Chains A and B, each alone.
Chain A
Amino acid sequence: DTAVSQTPKYLVTQMGNDKSIKCEQNLGHDTMYWYKQDSKKFLKIMFSYNNKELIINETVPNRFSPKSPDKAHLNLHINSLELGDSAVYFCASSQGAVSSGNTIYFGEGSWLTVV
C-alpha cells in the first residue's frame, strides 16, 4: 500500500497546455509538499500545505497553483506550460515540522516533459 502516491508518473505535453498532477497520502499526515528536482538534480521546495492551509510558497511562477481539497490530497496545476517546466515533481508529506525532527515521506515522482 503506497504511502504517498502521485499520478501521472510520466507526462509528455505540448507547450502552452495546462496540466495537473495529483497526489494522495494515506499516512494521516497534516502536512503535504510539492518539490521540484531541478536541472542540477537538487530537490527544491515549491509549496507546502498544513491542514489544508498554504504555509510555504516559494518563488515559483504563478502559472503553478497548488490545491488541497483535504489533508490527504495536494494537487499541482500548471497553466501555459513552458519548456523550462520539464522536470521531475515530487509530492511529499510529514506529520509535523521537519525542524522538529519529523521525516518527509516522498512519492515516486512525476516526470513532466514539455515539448
Chain B
Amino acid sequence: ILNVEQSPQSLHVQEGDSTNFTCSFPSSNFYALHWYRWETAKSPEALFVMTLNGDEKKKGRISATLNTKEGYSYLYIKGSQPEDSATYLCAPPTGGFKTIFGAGTRLFVKA
C-alpha cells in the first residue's frame, strides 16, 4: 500500500450536525481497515476494525462502512457533540504487523 488518503483534512460542524468523512486506500492486497480516534494530548484509541467488503460497524453515534473493491471506508457521526472533537485516523495494514496511518480528519464540534 503506497498511499492512504483521508478527506477532508479538517471539518468544523455545529453541535447536533451529522457528518461523515472518507478514507481511501489501494484496493489490492487488502487485509483489514482500522479506524482510530485521537484526542489532542492523548493516545489514539481504536474505534473499529473491519475486514470484509460490505462490513458495517457501529458504536453509539459513530458508524463505519467498508468497500474493499473500490478501496474506501466512510466514518459517520450522527448528532455530533463537542466531545466528538478529535482527529479520526484510518489505518490499513500492509501485511503482518505493519500499518500505514492516514493523516487523519480533524473534527471540531462547536457547542
Contact = CB atoms under 8 A, between A and B. Distances in A.
Contact of A101 (B42, B44, B49, B103): B49
A41 B42 CA distance: 14
Given A42-B101, A42-B103, A4 B43 contact: yes
A109 B94 CA distance: 23
Contacts of B91: 98, 104
Interface stretch (A13-21, A48-56, A63-71, A78-86): A48-56
Contacts of A100: 31-32
B98 A101 contact: no
Interface of B: 31-32, 34, 36, 41-46, 49, 51, 89, 91, 93-99, 101, 103-104
Interface residues of A, number: 28
Interface of A: 4, 31, 33, 40-45, 48, 50, 55-56, 90, 94, 97-109
A56 B96 CA distance: 10
Contacts of B43: 4, 90, 106-109
Given A90-B43, A100-B31, A55 B101 contact: no
Contacts of B93: 97-99
Given A4-B43, A43-B89, A90-B43, A101 B51 contact: yes
27 contacts: A4-B43, A31-B97, A33-B97, A40-B103, A41-B104, A42-B101, A43-B101, A44-B101, A45-B98, A55-B96, A90-B44, A97-B97, A98-B91, A98-B93, A99-B31, A99-B93, A99-B94, A99-B95, A99-B96, A100-B32, A103-B46, A104-B36, A104-B99, A105-B46, A106-B43, A106-B44, A108-B43
